[in-house]
Amino acid sequence: MANKHTDQYLENNKKYASGQAVHNAAYPGKQPINPDKHVAVVACMDARLDVEDLLGLQTGDAHIIRNAGGVVTDDTIRCLIISHHLLNTNEIILIHHTRCGMLAFTDDLLKAGLEGDPAAEKLLGQATKRKFTSCGKSASMPSAFHAFRGKLEPLDGERNAQQTERLEWDVRRGMSSILNHPWIPTSGPDAVTVRGFIYDVDTGKLEEVSYPGPMGTFG
């Protein structure tokens, strides 16, 4: 199974974490539509992650799919299916990160706050250190915010064992969602590889998450 480019990007990350620039930001000129390295990256939208820089990706190397948390949602799966079957990617990289905002709330808490529950508004304001302003309305979508499982962390809290475990849980859940989807092959000549990582925003380093393993409990 292909992993050669993922391994190279891990080596690039070591250089990045040591202060070296490994991404060339200059316009590269005309390129084909298929990603040159056959790689797709799923990562959080957090402003502290510059995916191209931390992996040493060059323009045209990879598809980059980003959302709050780097969560493998229905839309992420949609993108990966298109990326693989139509645009020939076969290495998938998942990246979560420390101090993630998805550790600081639950879906029910955020929904209640948006709908106008005073207790939820207060808790969300304390978590974000800004006034949380309710919309005072209910909505059917998004159907989920995909907050991470486990006991809540302070927003942007220092890394600890509980935080790391919660991040590992969600990385494994994402890996499992991809590896068990019937339209994403994991064996045979068209197989993809899936590897998951935690990016430490304080060191710039990627740490691989083992799979399979625990995927979390509520509370």
Question: Model confidence over 106-147: pLDDT tens digits?
Answer: 999 999 999 999 999 999 999 898 999 999 999 999 999 999
Residues 191/149, Cβ–Cβ less than 8 Å: no
- pLDDT of 219: 59
The amino acid at residue 29 is: G
Tokens (6 digits) for 73: 């949602």
What percent of the chain is modeled with pLDDT above 90? Answer: 93
Mean pLDDT of 202-211: 98
Please determine, for residue 1, whether its predicted confidence score (pLDDT) is greater than 80.
Answer: no
**Separation between Cα atoms, residue 33 and residue 10, nearest integer Å:** 24
Average pLDDT over residues 140-156: 94
DSSP secondary structure string, 88-138? ---EEEEEEETT-GGGS--HHHHHHHHHT-HHHHHHHHHHHTS--------
- Region for 182 from its dihedrals, namely left if φ exceeds 0, alpha if ψ lies in -120 to 50, beta otherwise: alpha
Nearest to 52 by CA among 34, 67, 39, 68: 39
Q: Is the pLDDT of residue 2 over 70?
A: no
Tens digits of per-residue pLDDT, 53-88?
999 999 999 999 999 999 999 999 999 999 999 999
User: Which pLDDT does position 108 carry in this prediction?
Assistant: 96
Residue 217 has a pLDDT of 79
Whether the predicted pLDDT of 164 surpasses 80: yes
The token pair at 96 is: 């979560």
Inter-residue contact 102 to 147 (CB < 8 Å): yes
Predicted TM-score (pTM) of this structure: 0.95
Name the nearest CA neighbour of 38 among 175, 218, 190, 217. Answer: 190
User: What is the percent of the chain with per-residue pLDDT over 70, rounded to a whole number?
Assistant: 98
The pLDDT-based confidence of 36 (bands split at 50, 70, 90) is: very high
Domains and CATH numbers, the chain: 4-15+38-52+59-102+145-209 (3.40.1050.10), 106-144 (no CATH)
Torsion of CA 134, 74, 62, 149, to 10 degrees: 60
How would you classify the pairing of strands 193-199 and 62-67?
unpaired
Average pLDDT over the chain, rounded to whole? 95
